[in-house]
Amino acid sequence: MKVAFLTAPEGVEQAELTDPWQAVEKADGTPALVCPKPGKVQAFRHLDKADTFPVDAVVADTSAADYDALVLPGGVANPDFLRMDGKAVAFVRAFFEQGKPVAAICHAPWTLVEADVVRGRTLTSWPSLRTDITNAGGIWVDEQVKVCTGGPNTLITSRKPADLPAFCGAFLEEFKKA
């Protein structure tokens, strides 16, 4: 199982990148860090700089066809940057078009809203995204983890870093089915 982790060059919440990454590795999967720019990704712990991580692939040089699934970590700045990058948005949309599972946590559903893939889907997120998701045609719920199979693919979402154990368990289970 090859899993793309799409992040911006900076602003990703470190735990929302590293915990799912380690879960994929423990499940004998191959995670790959995909970013709009080459080099390194600067992670954050809330508003403080944390570690950096090497980029494995640049969005413009790869495609959803190269992966079995997609994880979108959160952080406030991360999805806000990604939603302004047309190639990153198209990369996300392609996973839905190809029927591949997608997992998103915290603020990451902003990128899903921009990709216009939440219409008719039930998902959760950080509470401040509720209005955006609803306005984009999605159904927002306040749950630790939500698995939505009512669409072209399976969508797994969670609210916050405290939900990471449930999030990782749910997306691994769904990714194995794909």
| Residues contacting residue 165 through CB under 8 Å, at least 6 positions apart | none
Distances, alpha carbon 71 to alpha carbons 5, 13, 48, 74, 106, in Å: 5, 13, 23, 10, 12
Is residue 46 annotated as part of the catalytic site, yes or no?
Answer: no
Going by C-alpha positions, the residue among 4, 173, 142, 159 that lies closest to residue 72 is 4
Is residue 35 annotated as part of the catalytic site, yes or no?
Answer: no
Phi and psi at 22, nearest 5°, equal -65, -35
Burial of 101 (0-12, 13-18, 19+ CB in 10 A): buried
Q: Which of 35, 106, 148, 168 is catalytic?
A: 106
Go through 9-38 and write b for each residue having 16 or more CB atoms within 10 A of its CB, e for each that does not.
bbbbbbbbbbbbbebbeeeebebbbbbbee
Point out the residues that are catalytic.
Answer: 106-107
